[in-house]
Chain A
Amino acid sequence: MVTILLILAIGLVVGGVGAMMGIGGGILLIPILTAFLGVPIKTAIGTSIVCVIATSCAAGAVYVGRGMTHNRLAMILEVATTAGALAGGVTAVLISPRLLALLFACILIYVAFIMHRLPKEERPPVRTGALDTSYIDPRTGGRVTYGIRRLGMGMGASFLAGNVSGLLGIGGGIIKVPIMNLMMGVPLRAAIATSNFMIGITAATSGIIYYMSGFVSPKLAIPTALGVLAGAQIGTRVGGRIRSQRLRQIFQLLLLAFATMMLVQAWMK
């Protein structure tokens, strides 16, 4: 019972942070489960997949309701990401996971650095004529209209991100948000909402595979899912009230934290 409550609480926190930042939280959950609760890695990944899906659905219901998710962009990028993840299985033979984790950590640090160098206020989003969309900013109540830039480059980067996430067994939200925000000109809030949608689709595919292989343990997955479902509701609401600038700072911290985890992982392997 104590363990169940503990896992429920962990799910609450991971779901909250994940929903707020557009990431699945697998990279938070997997180390906690394996290191502190002694869960085998495959079962930990199975649990984390359920966590990612729960975050995506619960946060998605709020973000889609607010009109903040760019459904069409998500679908286009999802083609590249899933194809990348599929190709990841082929590339896995060629690159050592250790080198990959190292490279990935460098990319994350680089992205954090770029975000740090950006001007304090987000550049006002503009229409570009490609995939123009708009949403109501929950904090200011104003309408934000924006279009997509560099779609081709974004798709290329999404392919690589899918590739890396397929190889390292992570959802990849941490890399999807910067691609959309920094490369494609999507405002941070919309990038978070859209990333939230995409990670759910990718995770659902592996979710079914893991379920059929018996790596989804109800003992762990049920409390996590219930915690996440509640946590994500809180996360989306808190995230809506935070200023974009502060949101960006939190994201930078997450990037650095993940980079450190990746480096530790590369070191230990």
Chain B
Amino acid sequence: MNEEKNPGIPAIPEEDLPDSIHIRDFPAELATAGIEPEEEPEILARRDLNQVIHSMLTVGLVTTTVVLLLGFALSIIYRQPLAEKASGFSEILPGLRRGDPESFLDLGLLLLIATPILRVIGSLIEFISKRNWRYTYITSLVLLVLALSMMLGKG
């Protein structure tokens, strides 16, 4: 997959490529417009991946922003200055029930931090559902290294 080609060569027809390149595994991302008919199945797969990631990011962003702004507004209403330190995981849920602005802000921060990881998990699910095993493997590897560095960082 790391074969270097002469950059002067323009588009190579897919059927002329050696099997080892696995063009099917390497579809490109595409925007909605201007789809060439012969590429359709791959483009649809790419578009699906883009849509999954896009909707995950949008949901993550909107939720984060709403929770953060809510917490921010509450802390202004209650005249409570922003905390120096974030509270632990266990204190957030009870704090939310009490309507503690601090807990809303901490939850917002955690949601924000979790969004990129959710994006990777979303891609993983999408690759599995498309039976794209090469990328399922690569994405799992990324998650594994992330988990490993998180464990090492804790200790």
B117: chain A residues within 8 A (beta carbon): 201, 204-205
On whether the beta carbons of A134 and B138 are closer than 8 Å, the reply is no
CB contacts under 8 Å to A, within B113-155, are 113-117, 119-120, 123, 135, 138-139, 141-142, 145-146, 148-150, 152-154
On whether the beta carbons of B86 and A218 are closer than 8 Å, the reply is yes
Interface secondary structure of A, over-half rule: helix
B93 adjacent to chain A (CB < 8 Å): no
On whether the beta carbons of B2 and A152 are closer than 8 Å, the reply is yes
B11 adjacent to chain A (CB < 8 Å): yes
CB contacts under 8 Å to B, within A64-91, are 64-72, 75-76, 78-79, 82-83, 85-86, 89
Report how many residues on chain A are interfacial, defined by Cβ distance under 8 Å.
73
A38: chain B residues within 8 A (beta carbon): none
On whether the beta carbons of A86 and B29 are closer than 8 Å, the reply is no
B109 adjacent to chain A (CB < 8 Å): yes
Interface centre among A76, A147, A211, A222 (most CB of B within 10 A): A222
Which of A94-102, A123-131, A237-245, A261-269 binds B? A123-131
Knowing A53-B115, A218-B86, the reply to whether A129 touches B5 (Cβ < 8 A) is yes
Q: How large is the interface on B (under 10, 10 to 19, 20 to 34, 35 or more residues)?
A: 35 or more
On whether the beta carbons of B5 and A219 are closer than 8 Å, the reply is no
The complex places the Cα of A1 from the Cα of B95 at a distance, in Å, of 24
Closest CB-CB distance, A31 to chain B, in whole Å?
21
Write the residues of chain A forming the contact surface with B, with a CB cutoff of 8 angstroms.
4, 49-50, 53-54, 56-58, 60-61, 64-72, 75-76, 78-79, 82-83, 85-86, 89, 123, 126-136, 143, 145, 147, 149-153, 155, 185, 197, 200-201, 203-209, 211-212, 214, 216-219, 221-223, 225-226, 229
Write the residues of chain B forming the contact surface with A, with a CB cutoff of 8 angstroms.
1-5, 7-12, 17, 21, 23, 26-34, 46, 49-50, 53-54, 57-58, 60-61, 64-65, 68-69, 71-72, 81-86, 88, 102, 105-106, 108-110, 112-117, 119-120, 123, 135, 138-139, 141-142, 145-146, 148-150, 152-154
Nearest 8 interchain pairs by C-beta: A133-B28, A67-B31, A200-B116, A209-B153, A151-B2, A152-B2, A207-B113, A219-B82
